[in-house]
Structure 1
Amino acid sequence: MATQHAVRTHDDRALSVHDTGARVLDAITVVWHHGSPQTGALLRPLLDAAEARGVRLVSYARPSYATSSPRPGRDVASAAADVERVADTLGLDQFAVMGASGGGPHALACAALLPARVTAAVTLAGLAPFTEAFDGFGGMASDAALRAAREGRQARARFAETDEFDPRSFTARDWATLDSTWSALGEDAQAAEAAGPDGLIDDDVAFVSPWGFDPSTISAPVLLVHGGEDRVVPVSHSRRLVETLPDAELWFRPRDGHISVLEAVPLAMDWLREHGADGTH
């Protein structure tokens, strides 16, 4: 089980934090970065995988999700300062990071901007920066939200007023995963959406704007996990990142989509235990 509490930032915002606490002496701590939209709660598949490996698991809700305060104009890089504050509060000297979908860029931000503390990073179905050198829209079943975000926050907020999820974004394998192992993910996304669109809007604007850091500066080992059938974040994103990151490997899962790729979480935690215990590999 995980405990939930609030952490105050230096600019007096509240962050909703979940923490399983220490499991095994000298076991690694993993800070989980949730997808978009989610509440930041530690879902059962994550808890089960962490408990089986003695991993201490920590997560937090990004600004405007759950009970975390807004942070107007936030970029992807701003996650590092929030995670640093969480780590200081919990007494975490070093930790690994893992993020899924929209959490992937924020995990990379921590690896780039907290190099003395982040020992290794994993992203699952994560995005790459949208730059002139890389157009990340190709292969998306629905790119309208991110294209609206490129026009600015007001345009993305207007789009949110009529936005509806396109079921074509998920494969049959994705839907089967949501009906079984990761059913809590769908329930949590619904809870996040019921609380309002601001967190998702700010995420989308941050994704398509300058991230505030250069992934090529990340010195920690990074594992990228991506499904070949992903219609939400195409595998081209991880292929772009693996070319950019100095020390990265890509686990390509050809039959997985955006949700079913999460079945790799236990194996990814094993990878973090091997690569993130002391920052060496």
Structure 2
Amino acid sequence: MRARLRAQEEDAGVLDLVRTASGRRLEVAVSGNPGGRPVILLHGTPGSRVGTWPMLCHQEGAALISFDRPGYGGSDRSPGRRVADAVEDVAAVADALGLDRFAVAGRSGGGPHALACAALLPGRVTRAAALVGLAPRDAEGLDWFAGMTPSNVDEFRTAFTDPQRYAARIISRAAAIRGNPERLLEDLRPGLTEDDRLVVSDAGVRSMLLRNYYEALRTSPYGWIDDMIALTGPWGFDPAHIRVPVLLWHGAKDVFTPASHFSWLAARIPCAEAVLEPDAAHFAALRALPDVLDWLLTGKRQG
């Protein structure tokens, strides 16, 4: 990788002034072996480049590259962005690092953005993984809200029907979470399944999530706002057009992103390898990361 890194945090480096073709700044972190096989990561909603993947990089010999989507952390906002617009950002990061080919992965709200790269950068993306990701809001034949926890139904429906009201709500909520990131986990608690509670109760996972949420909202609430509006609007690509290998991973008991979304995507992506864990829920995707990373790098899963 030709870009110079400066140290930040205990597990990541940051590239200064990575810019897109339109001139926006992206804040990027690289973990692990800079000479390893590259995987570009698309974080959740809300989320940031500060994530769980760095703990895996030495084990797998990978270069893990993450960045704040527009409006999150240290990245400039891009009002009105679509899910497909993540492709410009991923290409800019890859170009800055001198990467011709790379894998992509996204968890939760990052899943659709990873699929966008698989669909629209087929000459550069080797493999793609989407963990506990959503299907498009206009997915034909899918009852989009069925099985979804009431809080998520309200959030997505408001973002879709009344974006201004949704933005006002998140501006206030994000200010409170910046002061105390624990509030976001407390807000999620009523929708957590028993399996989710077990994952989130781990001290290391909880610490990582709190750092992730704080960094996501440190400078602005608009990454979160724009993500939700983009996820519920037209994505700008059709998952059925993806031609690179894709791994879809989901927990059957997920109530934040119901497994029906996974099934819809699995039926429409031609090269999809679909893994549905019967006893897992949303946050169990964190436990699946080593297996997913192994598949991205080798084409084989451990389990």
Q: Over aligned residues, Cα RMSD in angstroms?
A: 1.8
Equivalent-residue separation in structure 2 for 1:21 and 1:215 (angstroms):
31
Partner of 1:32: 41
2:22 corresponds to 1:11: yes
- The 2-side partners of 1:245 and 1:31 are apart by 20
What do residues 211-244 of structure 1 show as CA deviations (whole Å, max 9, x unaligned)? Answer: 0011111111111110111111111111110001
TM-score, L = length of structure 1 = 0.91
Q: Compare the two structures and name the one with the higher helix fraction.
A: 2
Identical-pair percentage: 40
Candidates 31, 40, 45, aligned match of 1:20: 31
Moved more, 125-134 or 80-89: 125-134
Q: Secondary structure at the match of 1:31?
A: strand
Q: Deviations over 1:116-141 (max 9, x none)?
A: 00011111111110115123211111
- For structure 1, the residue ranges without an aligned partner over 5 or more in a row are 277-281
1:114-170 residue CA offsets vs partner (Å, 9 max, x unmatched): 110001111111111011512321111121111011124313213325667242221
The SS at the match of 2:83 is: coil
- Does the CA-based 8 Å contact 2:112-2:134 persist in structure 1? yes
More displaced stretch, 257-266 vs 191-200: 191-200
User: Which of 248, 252, 275 lines up with 1:251 in the alignment?
Assistant: 275
1:153-232 map, 5 Å:
153-160=163-170, 165-180=187-202, 181-183=204-206, 184-232=208-256
Give runs of aligned pairs for residues 74-93 of structure 1, distance below 5 A: 74-93=81-100
1:275 to partner: Cα distance: 2.6
TM-score, structure 2 as length reference: 0.85
DSSP-derived class of the 1:230 partner: coil
Q: Unpaired runs of 5+ in structure 2?
A: 1-10, 174-183
Structure 2 counterpart of 1:139: 147
Q: Is the 8 A contact 1:23 1:54 kept in 2?
A: no
Deviation string for 1:1-47 (max 9, x for gaps)?
Answer: 421123111211110101126455xx421101000111222x3x411
Contact residue 32 and residue 57 of structure 2 kept, 8 A: no
Q: For residue 182 of structure 1, what is the amino acid of its counterpart?
A: V
How many residue pairs get aligned? The number is 272
Taking the aligned partners of 1:207 and 1:71, their CA distance within structure 2 comes to: 15
Q: Which shows bigger deviation, 254-263 or 114-123?
A: 254-263
The aligned amino acid for 1:18 is A
Whole-Å Cα distance in 2 between the matches of residues 125 and 153 of structure 1? Answer: 24
Contact 2:33/2:58 (<8 A) preserved = no
